[in-house]
Amino acid sequence: MNKIVCISGATSGIGYYSAVEFAKLGYNLIITGRRKERLVEIEKELREKYKVDIISLNFDVRVRDEVEENLNSLPSDWRNIDILINNAGLAAGKEPIFEGDYKDWDQMIDTNVKGLLYVSRVIIPWMKERESGHIINICSIAGKEVYAEGAVYCASKSAVNSISQGMRIDCSPYNIKVTNICPGAVETEFSMVRFKGNKEKSDATYKGYKPLTGEDIADTIVYCATLPSHICINDLLITPTAQANATTFNRK
């Protein structure tokens, strides 16, 4: 059987392009997300183009029962996951902490932190048993620097940063690599989600400079995932050339 990559949040953006890039390399894919129709389309597209096997799992990473039920439904040979990309995540809202929406806070913490943990908790024991595997956590520049009106999103990504470090310590005796990838501005559905469909605000995020694309991050993930077995990229911060840190952009 080909190598297997499991990607959470593969219905758009970084997750979708990661599915494409790994399919090109002949990996079999486990793709997940809440939007079932998108999973069906992506499965069809990648099967036809790249002749790989794909299992789509339609669940919300925030719901532990759904996570466990779906992942545990995998046939035994599909549990031999070589690479887990913990990508499902989002920012919801951007306002000062004293105006923050409780629902947004819950959604970000439940998805970015607890969802990542739920998925990892099922899959890591399978990797541990085989003494082989690579976990790639999609963190953010927001996990390294805090910016105005982003306290809770930044906190959720700081948690990912810490979880990646802890995972690496606990998993390294079992020959499992852990890579924490921290992108700056990537033009995906991210800002439309953050600004709840406000196109003006979303477009403004990427105005006046060339942002990264989902493909750029997918290429970076593939680079980290295909290094020789004795090399592990622990932590990688990647920004557009026009972005110097979380808040400094060279906009024309």
Interacting residues toward ligand NDP by CB under 6 A: 9-15, 33-35, 38, 60-62, 87-90, 111, 115, 138, 140, 183, 185-186, 188-190, 193, 214
* Residue 62 binds which of ligand NDP, ligand 8X3, none (CB < 5-8 A, kind-dependent): ligand NDP
Say if residue 97 is exposed, middle or buried (CB neighbours under 10 Å; 0-12, 13-18, 19+): exposed
199: left (phi over 0), alpha (psi -120 to 50) or beta: alpha
- Catalytic positions: 153
Hey, what are 158's tokens?
């700081």
In whole angstroms, the minimum distance from the beta carbon of 235 to ligand 8X3 comes to: 15
In whole angstroms, the minimum distance from the beta carbon of 39 to ligand NDP comes to: 8
Q: Is 119 in contact with 64 (CB distance < 8 Å)?
A: no
* Residue 246 binds which of ligand 8X3, ligand NDP, none (CB < 5-8 A, kind-dependent): ligand 8X3
Hey, what are 46's tokens?
């990648």
3-state secondary structure of 28: strand
Hey, what are 213's tokens?
């694309």
In whole angstroms, the minimum distance from the beta carbon of 237 to ligand 8X3 comes to: 11
In whole angstroms, the minimum distance from the beta carbon of 23 to ligand 8X3 comes to: 25
Residue 51 CA: distances (Å) to CA of 6, 25, 27, 187:
17, 11, 10, 28
| Helices and strands per DSSP (H, E), number in the chain | 9, 9
* Residue 71 binds which of ligand NDP, ligand 8X3, none (CB < 5-8 A, kind-dependent): none
* Residue 11 binds which of ligand NDP, ligand 8X3, none (CB < 5-8 A, kind-dependent): ligand NDP
For ligand 8X3, the binding residues in 120-159 under the rule CB under 6 A are 140-142, 150
Binding-site ranges for ligand 8X3 (CB under 6 A): 140-142, 150, 185, 246
